Amino acid sequence: MCKDNFYLLSTLPFEEGFKCVNWSFMEAGHGKGAPDEIGAVIKRAADGVVLHGEDIVNAVSMYDTLTKKSIAPHLFLITDGQFEEQKKLHLKIYRR
Higher-pLDDT residue of 96 and 63 is 63
- pLDDT beyond 70 at 94: no
- pLDDT beyond 60 at 83: yes
pTM of the model: 0.52
CA distance 78 to 48: 23
Domain regions of the chain by residue span: 2-24+31-94
pLDDT digits (tens, 9 = 90+) for 21-59: 887 765 655 556 666 778 888 888 889 999 999 999 998
CA distance 88 to 92: 6
∠ CA 75-78-84, nearest 5°, is 165
- pLDDT beyond 70 at 87: yes
